[in-house]
Amino acid sequence: MSEEAEKIGAVSQSRYEEIVAELRRVVEEQTQGQFTIGDRALEIEPMRRHSDAPARPGQDAFSVGQALNRLAEDIGLRRSTVENARWTASRWPVERRQRGVSFTVHRVLGSIPAEEERFATITRLPKGKQRWTVDDANRVVGRQVEHPVSAQEKVTAIHCLARDEEVAAAVTTDFLRRPTVAAKVPVQEKVRVVEEFTRDEHVATSAATNLLRRPDVAFKAMSDDTARFQVNQAQNERHRQAREQVEDTSQVAPAVRHIDRTVEFLDLVTACHSFVAAAGRTVPGLRDRTLGEDERTIVHENVAKVRATLDWIETAVDTGKVDMDSELARLLRGE
């Protein structure tokens, strides 16, 4: 193996190992130093309970904060550093502190509430590891890690980076432009995302218009009874508004109303003629054929609807009243 291949950064493998050994001794000294700071801060101000648990850093009473602030100033450290050291020391009695484990790992694992679990956890190295790392400690207590490994850790990291709304919008746009990413999103989630994006009426209108211009989409959408009903209702409402506008503003409105009445008359006559013609073609086909009981029931129900509808037509033609009574409405609805 070449010397270059053996290098880590700008040093050789052997020199790197020497540096690691040296810095581990430094970290151990720093750990002992930070615990000493914490122990002395505890001596000055013992931990006081906050609700059902010892106060966390920054939650102490005002008088405690004054003492810690003075101590921090007198030794040239930030007050938060002294507070963290004091709290961590309170979570780890001297006999429970582990040599070779950094102060930071002690601090992270110190958030485990139950003492016995906390003391037992630090003695069990993470699977496949020879030493504790800060990321390993964060995984144990469920915090975000600096170097995500699992898919969930990476997702959490992305969420944290995208807390800003503008960043989140840009990331989402970029991700959805990647076909392989979009293909892996479940259908229901895609539907939910589209619904979220189309809460704005203008966006929804534009999206629906563009989608319905695709023949396959329009065909499948119109297979849904509710969607088809809403489209028909919208068309009828659009026609009604257009007609009302013409009647209110146009000088030829009287002539249009006369044409409307003529068209309605022709439509009604055409409907009656179509029904008679269809019956004339269909009924002779029943010759020498006996329908089953279920079939006869269905035909009788539809004949009743037709008979009621014919009565309704006669009433409308004779009186001009087109409102149907509740019984007829239930009958036509099939109730």
Reduced 3-state DSSP string for 48-70:
CEECCEECCCCCCCHHHHHHHHH
Tell me the chain's radius of gyration from C-alpha atoms. 40
pLDDT at 179: 75
Task: Say whether both 217 and 229 belong to one domain.
Answer: no
Q: Are residues 170 and 54 in the same domain?
A: no
Task: Pick the closest to residue 204 from 196, 216, 213 (CA basis).
Answer: 196
Burial of 148: CB neighbours in 10 Å, binned 0-12, 13-18, 19+:
middle
Domain match, 195 and 255 both: no
| 14 and 31 co-located in one domain | yes
**DSSP track, 116-173:** HHHHHHTTSPPTT-SS--HHHHHHHHTPPPSS--SHHHHHHHHHHHT-SHHHHHHHHH
Contact 275, 305 (CB under 8 A): no
59 and 118 inside one domain: yes
Judgement on whether residues 79 and 101 belong to the same structural domain of the protein: yes
DSSP state, residue 95: G
- Check whether residue 216 and residue 240 sit in a common domain: no
Q: Return d(Cα 185, Cα 176) in angstroms, integer.
A: 10
Same domain, 127 and 229: no
User: Do residues 97 and 38 share a domain?
Assistant: yes
Task: Report the distance separating Cα 121 and Cα 141, nearest Å.
Answer: 10
Give residue 173's identity as a one-letter amino acid code: T
**Within 10 A of 144 (CB to CB), how many other CB atoms are there?**
13
What pLDDT is stored for residue 85 in this prediction? 96
pLDDT block averages, 10 residues each, the chain of length 335: 70 93 95 96 84 57 80 95 95 95 96 95 93 93 84 71 71 70 71 73 78 79 77 76 67 57 69 83 83 85 85 84 72 62
Residue ranges making up the domain that contains 157: 148-179
**How many CA atoms within 13 Å lie on the side-chain side of 254?**
1
pLDDT (0 to 100) of residue 19: 95
Number of domains within the chain: 5
Side-chain-side CA neighbours of 335 within 13 Å: the count stands at 6
**What is the number of other CB atoms lying within 10 angstroms of the CB of residue 86?**
25
- End-of-domain residue from the set 258, 284, 310: 284
Residues 11 and 89 in one domain: yes
**Same domain flag for 229 and 218:** no
Contact 119, 74 (CB under 8 A): no
User: Is residue 83 domain-shared with residue 119, that is, in the same domain?
Assistant: yes
